[in-house]
């Protein structure tokens, strides 16, 4: 079965498949499958706990209340999208279907790029507060890249040459 976006992914993955397999053989990435199971389950539970158990704050002004409702609705939409992506990730692990990894991997990569751009914007103003923000942001970026590499290694593990 061919992967979705085959025309885009095949020129990138096919010539470099051996290099990707060698990369995923490092001891850090050998446990990528159990790590991905744990990570996906943990994030799903955190999303559910954080966003669906909240009550709205009491607001006196109707304009403030409508803004609060919009923010609350956007958080629910974002949490739902995250749950769908992590569920695709877990189902992809269970069924060994690499196509189910793609939505989460693309969204995760987009988040890494956005956080990196945010870090570059923070670098433009150098003061103590921005240095502290940059330190925490760089830790988050490193952790997100590590998680993405773990997911990518599971994706490569399940990828057959016939999928390309």
Most confident option among 27-36, 42-51, 52-61: 27-36
Distances (CA, A) of 155 to 70, 103, 116, 151: 36, 12, 23, 6
pLDDT band at 108 (very low <50, low <70, confident <90, very high): confident
Express as a percent the part of the chain with pLDDT over 90. 0
- Average pLDDT, integer, range 59-73: 66
pTM of the predicted protein model: 0.71
pLDDT of residue 59: 47
pLDDT of residue 52: 62
pLDDT at 49 > cutoff 60: yes
pLDDT of residue 57: 52
Instruction: Report the chain's C-alpha Rg in angstroms.
Output: 19
């Amino acid at each position: 079965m061919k992967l979705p976006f085959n025309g885009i992914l095949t020129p990138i993955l096919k010539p470099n498949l051996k290099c990707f397999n060698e990369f995923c053989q490092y001891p850090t990435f050998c446990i990528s499958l159990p790590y991905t199971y744990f990570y996906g389950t943990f994030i799903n539970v955190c999303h559910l706990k954080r966003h669906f158990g909240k009550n709205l704050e009491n607001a006196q002004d109707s304009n403030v209340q409508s803004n609060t409702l919009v923010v609350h609705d956007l958080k629910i939409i974002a949490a739902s999208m995250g749950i769908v992506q992590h569920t695709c990730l877990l189902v992809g692990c269970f069924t060994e279907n690499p196509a189910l990894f793609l939505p989460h991997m693309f969204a995760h990569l987009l988040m890494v790029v956005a956080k990196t751009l945010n870090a570059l914007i923070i670098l433009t103003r150098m003061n103590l507060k921005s240095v502290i923000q940059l330190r925490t942001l760089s830790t988050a970026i490193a952790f997100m890249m590590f998680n993405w590499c773990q997911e990518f290694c599971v994706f490569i593990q399940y990828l057959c040459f016939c999928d390309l």
